[in-house]
Each structure stands twice: as structure tokens, then as C-alpha cells.
């Protein structure tokens, strides 16, 4: 099963995206780091997870979330992208 899932993951991602198509409507705030957020987060989930979880995490909270995505969920975030991504999230969707 695992092997099939791995092989079919790209096709399945496309299928799931087709089935629930509304994510194109999700608009994030402009700001430095948004390009990296778009690039590194959308492989696994729609970007509405970010506004959904706002504005109650502070800079540490967003850093911990990015780390959790890397360590627990195996997110393909480049090491040099983690800090700018966390900064973007804290700046635009953090607790003020």
C-alpha cells in the first residue's frame, strides 16, 4: 500500500485538489517570504491553514509550527527557507 501511495502521490494530490477546488480562492497577505511560503507549503496542504491559525501564535509559536512541519510531517522546506517562512507568518499572521 505504501509503495503504491508513494508512486501515486502526485496523481492523488491532483485528484484531491480537483475534488476540493476552492483553494485557489485563498489569498495570503503580501510580504517578504510569501514566495517561499507558497513554494514550500502547498505540496501537502492548502494555504488556508495559515489564516485559520491566526492571529494567536507569536514568533516562537510560528517557528515551532514550521519545525513541526519539517520534523514531524517531513515537509520539504529548504533549511535556509525555515527562518524567512516563520518570519513571514509571525509578521502577517502572528499575535500582535
- Return the residue of 5, 30, 79, 96 that touches another protein, per CB under 8 A: 5
Residues in the interface with another protein (CB under 8 A) total: 39
Contact set for another protein, span 33-92 (CB under 8 A):
43-46, 48-49, 51-57, 61, 65, 72-76
Q: Which of 83, 85, 93, 10 is nearest to 44 (CA)?
A: 10
Residue with cell 494530490: 13
Per DSSP, helices labelled H in 1-96 are 2-19, 34-41, 49-52, 59-71, 82-93
Residues lying near another protein in the complex (CB under 8 A) are found at: 1-2, 5-6, 8-9, 12-13, 15-23, 26, 43-46, 48-49, 51-57, 61, 65, 72-76, 93
Amino acid at each position: 500500500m505504501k509503495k503504491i501511495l508513494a508512486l501515486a502521490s502526485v496523481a492523488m494530490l491532483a485528484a484531491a485538489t480537483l475534488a476540493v477546488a476552492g483553494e485557489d480562492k485563498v489569498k495570503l497577505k503580501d510580504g517578504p517570504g510569501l514566495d517561499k511560503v507558497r513554494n514550500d507549503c502547498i505540496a501537502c496542504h492548502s494555504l488556508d491553514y495559515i489564516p485559520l491559525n491566526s492571529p494567536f501564535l507569536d514568533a516562537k509559536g510560528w517557528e515551532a509550527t514550521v519545525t513541526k512541519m519539517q520534523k514531524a510531517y517531513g515537509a520539504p522546506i529548504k533549511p535556509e527557507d525555515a527562518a524567512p517562512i516563520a518570519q513571514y507568518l509571525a509578521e502577517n499572521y502572528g499575535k500582535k
